[in-house]
Structure 1
Amino acid sequence: MASSTQIDTRYADFIHEVAEWEGVWALYHNGWLLQTTATGEKYCPIFATRDEAKSFAASIQSDHVPSAITLVELTESVMMQWRAEEVMAGICPTPAKPAIVVSLDQLSDDIMAALKDVMDERFGTQS
C-alpha cells in the first residue's frame, strides 16, 4: 500500500534508465528550459524518457519540446555550459512532485557508475 511517506525512487530509477539508454531528455526552445528552486538555485529539468519530458512540458504549458541528449553530449558539452551558468540538474519533476535538484558533479558520478554497471552486465566484467 502506497503512502505519502513512501520512498521517492525517481532519482535511482532515472540513473538506471539513463545508463541503459545512454541519454537524457530535456526541454528546448531557443535554449534549455530553466527553472528556479524556492531557494533561488537555477536548474534544468531532465528526464529519462521522452514521454516524461513531453508530459511535464504540457503540464507547465511551455513551448519547449523534448530534445534527446546523448551522454557524450551531456558530459562534454551541455554540462560545461550549465556549469558556466551555475545551473544544476533537476531530475524528473512532475506536476505533483518538484525536481530532485542535484549538482552536476553528483549527477555525472552517478551516471558513470551506473553506466559501468550496465556495461559489465552487457559485456562481462573486464579485468
Structure 2
Amino acid sequence: MNNKEFEAVIKLPANIRYEYFIKKVADYEEVWALYDDGFVTASDEKGNKILPFFPKKEFAQNYAKLEWANCKPITIELDDFINKWLPGMEKDEIKPAIFPVDNKFAVIEYELLLRDLENELENY
C-alpha cells in the first residue's frame, strides 16, 4: 500500500472505512488486531467492551500509539475470525470495533458483520 492510499483511507468516515474493511478482509482473507500480553480491548462511550479490528497491518500499526505503543499487529485468518472469534466475542459480550482511526470507529453487531462478510465472500 502506498502512502497516498493510506492517508486517503484513514480520512474516510467510519461507515466508508467499514465497507473498505469488508472488501479488503475478503480479498486477503485475514483480519488484523493488536496484541500485547493479550488482545487489545477498550470501552466505547456506552461502556461496551470492544475489540478493534483492522483490514491491513499498516492500519493496525498506525493505531498502536500512546497507551498501546507496545502492541504489535497480529493477523487472524478470516475463517477463524468468522467461525471462532465472532461467536466467542458474542458469548463474552465483546463488540467488534471495525477499523478505528483516532477515536472514531464503527461498533458493529456480530450478525451484521458476519452477514456482510459472507455476502462479500460470495463474490469470490
Report the TM-score, using the length of structure 2 for normalisation: 0.82
Q: CA deviation at 1:13?
A: 0.9
1:82-118: per-residue Cα shift (whole Å, max 9, x none)? 12210111011112x411100111111101101111x
Match of 2:5 in 1: none
* The one of 89, 108, 118 aligned to 1:82: 89
Q: CA deviation at 1:41?
A: 1.1
The CA RMSD over aligned residues, in Å, is 1.7
* The one of 23, 26, 40 aligned to 1:19: 26
Query: Does residue 1:49 correspond to 2:23, yes or no?
Result: no
Match of 1:29 in 2: 36
Query: Does residue 1:93 correspond to 2:100, yes or no?
Result: yes
Alignment CA distance shift 1:60-1:99 (3 Å): farther
Alignment CA distance shift 1:30-1:81 (3 Å): farther
Give unmatched runs, 5+ long, in structure 2: 1-11
Alignment CA distance shift 1:32-1:98 (3 Å): same
1:51-86: per-residue Cα shift (whole Å, max 9, x none)? 000110125443221010111111222223212210
Provide the secondary structure at the position in 1 that maps to 2:100.
coil
Match of 1:122 in 2: none
Match of 1:108 in 2: 114
Q: Which structure has the highest helix share of the two?
A: 2
Between the two proteins, the alignment pairs up a number of residues equal to 112
Which structure has the larger Rg over C-alpha atoms? 1
Report the TM-score, using the length of structure 1 for normalisation: 0.80
Q: Distance in 1 between matches of 2:49 and 2:40?
A: 10
